[in-house]
């Protein structure tokens, strides 16, 4: 079983790739990396010596000084090369570069230089090296004002700020999950002494992206309506948008009750797309769930009884507790990569309605069990 270490493990791409690989427990073992290792040669050597595969993602993306940015990124690669040379250790090394290599800016120069340093090291030491030249990456949990304009727009819209377009150019984009699959395939195949451009999966104008996100804001964030999802890009963009919602304060969302002498009528789910609706009853004290999804869109609605819904981001510690009561019907939507459960905390039977955007497929369930 190969041991994989990821520099930049705490970053946007690094944390996603780490989580994705952690699901492949029968194939890989992860060796945890801490960013402080680059300031501690002994710790860096101890870590690198354990790895059969090293994915070098650690880099500075933005800095007020272009020279500091360039020098920092080159220095990180040089420290890794020096450490491997001292150890005489030759793992498969994968390097994350950028299409900005062609732009001649300091960031692009740092990426070209770093890729060449690692390629030269691999050639001299008969080691396996793979350089990936990557287009713009978007996806859940990216850092706004740092990782991508998509992250910035999503954050602004979910925090009642107005995004602004400076230049309405075309963006070649790849979803972070798609990129993770490229890395995993390169690790499996042992792509050697090669650098290649990672194909983008979609090309959109900045204004097109913002237009779609504004629809999500109006329909979903403001009105609770699930928008029509026409293709994988829209699903991925919608799940990206949802990851920026402040869940602890936005949910649960109360539903309007229409009451007359016949009883009560409540609209549970409004949507522009299909999916599946189901319901469950849960005995007092019983907990359901404790799993997460990486692509599915899901809503829990409590219509009778008292419930505690808990959410925790995968491989993180903070638990969000949300309390729902059927006397005031309300719902909670489940974000991707958040393990979640629902517990009956009342004295009577709990009635819950569930909506999910796709039918259950035993061959591709996208359901990973993890206790909150």
Say yes or no: 199 and 254 in one domain. Answer: no
Tell me the residue length of the chain: 372
DSSP string, 352-366: EEEEESS---TTS--
Q: How many helices (H) and strands (E) does the chain have?
A: 9, 23
Say yes or no: 257 and 191 in one domain. Answer: no
pTM for this entry: 0.94
Say yes or no: 70 and 172 in one domain. Answer: yes
Residue finishing a domain among 168, 203, 238: 203
Residue at 234 is within a domain: no
Residue at 365 is within a domain: yes
| H or E element in which residue 289 lies | strand 287-292
Residue at 285 is within a domain: yes
Residue at 55 is within a domain: yes
User: C-alpha distances in angstroms, 38 versus 11, 63, 75?
Assistant: 15, 19, 10
Say yes or no: 183 and 262 in one domain. Answer: no
Residue at 224 is within a domain: no
Q: Would you call 70 helix, strand, or coil by DSSP?
A: helix
Domain CATH number, residue 164: 3.40.50.720
What is the distance between the terminal CA atoms of the chain, rounded to a whole angstrom?
28
Residue at 42 is within a domain: yes
CA 338, CA 292: separation in Å to the nearest integer? 6
Say yes or no: 10 and 75 in one domain. Answer: yes
Domain CATH number, residue 281: 2.60.120.10
Say yes or no: 264 and 115 in one domain. Answer: no
Tens-digit pLDDT string for the chain (372 aa): 999 999 999 999 999 999 999 999 999 999 999 999 999 999 999 999 999 999 999 998 888 898 999 999 999 999 999 999 999 999 999 999 998 888 878 999 999 999 999 999 999 999 999 999 999 999 999 999 998 999 999 999 999 999 999 989 999 999 999 999 999 999 999 877 678 999 999 999 999 999 999 999 999 999 999 999 999 999 999 999 999 999 999 999 999 888 889 888 889 999 988 899 999 999 999 999 999 999 999 999 999 999 999 999 999 999 999 999 999 999 999 999 999 999 999 999 999 999 999 999 999 999 999 999
Radius of gyration of the chain (CA): 23
Say yes or no: 302 and 179 in one domain. Answer: no
Domain total for the chain?
A: 2
Say yes or no: 63 and 135 in one domain. Answer: yes
The domain of 138 spans 2-143+160-203
Say yes or no: 189 and 254 in one domain. Answer: no
Cβ(134)–Cβ(98) under 8 Å?
Answer: yes
Say yes or no: 186 and 300 in one domain. Answer: no
114-119 contact pairs (CB < 8 A, 24+): 114/56, 114/59, 114/73, 114/74, 114/76, 114/77, 115/195, 117/74, 117/77, 117/78, 117/81, 118/56, 118/77, 118/80, 118/81, 118/93, 119/193, 119/195
Say yes or no: 42 and 120 in one domain. Answer: yes
Task: Kindly compute the dihedral angle of the four CA atoms of residues 301, 303, 309, 311, in this order, to the nearest 10 degrees.
Answer: 0
Say yes or no: 62 and 193 in one domain. Answer: yes
Residue at 222 is within a domain: no
Residue at 230 is within a domain: no
């Amino acid at each position: 079983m190969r041991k994989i270490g990821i520099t930049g493990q705490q970053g946007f791409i690094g944390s996603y790739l780490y989580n994705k690989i952690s699901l492949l427990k029968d194939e890989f073992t992860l060796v945890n990396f801490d960013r402080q290792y680059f300031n501690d040669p002994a710790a860096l050597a101890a870590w690198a010596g354990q790895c059969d595969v090293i994915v070098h993602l650690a880099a500075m993306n933005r800095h007020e000084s272009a020279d500091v940015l360039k020098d920092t990124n080159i220095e990180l690669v040089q420290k890794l090369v020096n450490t491997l040379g001292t150890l005489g250790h030759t793992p498969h090394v994968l390097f994350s570069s950028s299409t900005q290599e062609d732009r001649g800016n300091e960031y692009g120069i740092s990426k070209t230089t770093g890729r060449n340093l690692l390629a030269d090291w691999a050639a001299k030491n008969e080691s396996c090296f793979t350089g990936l030249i990557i287009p713009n990456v978007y996806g859940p949990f990216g850092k706004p004002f740092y990782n991508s304009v998509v992250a910035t727009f999503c954050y602004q819209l979910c925090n009642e700020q107005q995004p602004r377009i400076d230049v309405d150019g075309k963006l070649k984009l790849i979803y972070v999950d798609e990129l993770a699959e490229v890395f995993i395939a390169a690790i499996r195949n042992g792509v050697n002494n090669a650098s290649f451009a990672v194909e983008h999966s979609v090309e959109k104008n900045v204004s097109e992206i913002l237009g779609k996100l504004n629809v999500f804001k109006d329909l979903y964030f403001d009105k609770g309506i699930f928008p029509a999802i026409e293709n994988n890009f829209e699903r991925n963009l919608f799940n990206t948008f949802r990851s920026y919602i402040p869940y602890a304060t936005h949910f649960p969302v109360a539903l309007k009750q229409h009451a007359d002498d016949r009883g009560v009528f409540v609209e549970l789910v409004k949507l522009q797309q299909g999916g599946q609706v189901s319901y469950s009853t849960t005995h007092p004290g019983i907990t359901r769930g404790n799993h997460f999804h990486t692509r599915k869109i899901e809503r829990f609605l409590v219509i009778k009884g008292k419930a505690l819904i808990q959410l925790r981001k995968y491989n993180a510690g903070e638990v969000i507790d949300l309390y729902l009561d059927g006397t005031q019907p309300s719902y909670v939507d489940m974000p991707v990569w958040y393990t979640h459960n629902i517990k009956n905390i009342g004295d009577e039977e709990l009635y819950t309605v569930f909506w999910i955007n796709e039918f259950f497929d035993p061959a591709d369930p996208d359901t990973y069990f993890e206790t909150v």
